[in-house]
Amino acid sequence: MKITLGTVTHPGGSRVNKTGSWRTASKPRFNHQACVACDVCALVCPEGCIFGTGQNTYYANEDYCKGCGICAEVCPVHDIEMIPEAGEDG
Amino acid sequence: MVKVEERDKFNDHLLASGHTACPGCGQSLAARLVLRAAGRNVMVVNSTGCLEVFSSKYPESAWEVPWIHSLFENTSAVAAGIEAALKITGQLDRVRVIAQGGDGSTADIGLGAISGMLERGHDVLYICYDNEAYMNTGIQRSGSTPYYARTTTSPPGKVSRGNWRPKKDVPQIALAHGIPYVAVASVGYPMDLDRKVRKALSIRGPKYVQIHVPCPLGWGTAPERTIDFARLAVLTGLYPLYEVENGELRALKIPKKVPVEEYLKEQVRFRHLFGKEDRKKEIAEIQGIADQNIEKFGLIVK
């Protein structure tokens, strides 16, 4: 780690923190069936880790997703589900 | 150094991923939405608080815009200085200045400096993220803590019913300075928040915007229900969303009155009001505050 004087750092340098390892219980699954591309999930994600450009293209970057579940809660068509971290069988 | 995998034209990620806020943090969401509205041509001055701590873990920074942190109380003084320097070098047309802090630095510690900044007429947008206690240091009560909320310094018990003083009305204090724009927003209504920040930045002179941000840790709420609680606070009338532009008041109307119990009962900080002995009187008092707000701001169309 290179130490600089003061706290002058690279913009957006926090991206080296893979906060996805914080998830303990569940992660979002985007079903890609009823999506209407309203963009609300991407808008309200506190991590800003949901991306998508049109219907049924949205996904969460699991490197950063902390599994809070807000996206599943706000989705107007209930197309996002929280599934156990270990996967469907876990 | 860091591979920036996705950049976007909507400035959605000026507060980058990888910050160390709790899951479901309302403040990190609000900060991201504010920058989304403000764009790249801003300088941000941050006070001490959760936002500063989780976004600037040494040696990293989640900010993609120029960002400065000074002492707890002098956010507005630093912002005023930056604005004065931009003005004298003729660059104020190209860069906007945002000062931001939590409710502790706004309502209690930095109030003097904010008042000075508003009174001197600096072209700065002050944003207060109101999570209703000092969450960073472990949930102590602040001037902005609502009636009967449990904090570590206002614990409920045999004698105490939690915080025994009403919430300090900082937007009205800001308004009393006669500044051109004061607004109250909430993360529960992201597009309303977006519009208010854009509007504030389009106006010259001092502006004050207060944003209600639920804190899952301090309020004892489930992380996934952050948006729900922000919306319930508005729908009950406890957190009226309004804006005052040049003395003209406009409030966001609510469809119908939701009883305050809906908002209070699932939060750990109000759980003592729903114990074995029902605290009907306290709940009625909180309902009274909500009714007063509905009346005062005309929240329900008759």
Q: What residue spans define the domains of chain B?
A: 26-297
DSSP state of A9: -
Question: For residue A5, what pLDDT is reported?
Answer: 65
**Average pLDDT estimate for A72-88:** 87
Asked if residue A68 belongs to a domain, the reply is: yes
Q: How many whole angstroms separate alpha carbon B206 and alpha carbon B200?
A: 9
- CB of A16 within 8 Å of any CB in chain B? yes
- Over residues B99-135, the pLDDT tens digits come to 999 999 999 999 999 999 999 999 999 999 999 999 9
Q: How many whole angstroms separate alpha carbon B215 and alpha carbon B221?
A: 8
- CB of B289 within 8 Å of any CB in chain A? no
Which residues of A are less than 8 Å from B227 in CB distance?
A: 44, 70, 73-74
* Chain B, window 158-187: residues with a beta carbon less than 8 angstroms from a chain A beta carbon: 187
The CATH number given to whatever domain includes residue A77 is 3.30.70.20
Q: How many CA atoms lie within 13 A of B2 on its CB side?
A: 21
Q: What are the φ/ψ torsions at residue B222 (nearest 5 degrees)?
A: -70, 140
DSSP state of B159: S
Domain count, chain A: 1
Q: Cβ contact (<8 Å) for A7 and B29?
A: no
Q: How far is B24 from chain A (nearest CA, A)?
A: 5
**Is B241 a residue whose pLDDT tops 80?**
yes
Question: For residue A8, what pLDDT is reported?
Answer: 63
**Average pLDDT estimate for B271-298:** 87
- CB of B195 within 8 Å of any CB in chain A? no
Helix (H, G, I), strand (E, B) or coil at B223: helix
Q: Cβ contact (<8 Å) for A12 and B4?
A: yes
What is the fold, at CATH topology level, of the domain defined by B26-297? Rossmann fold (3.40.50)
Q: How many whole angstroms separate alpha carbon B91 and alpha carbon B240?
A: 36
Question: For residue B90, what pLDDT is reported?
Answer: 92
Burial of B89 (0-12, 13-18, 19+ CB in 10 A): exposed
Domain that holds residue A64: 27-84
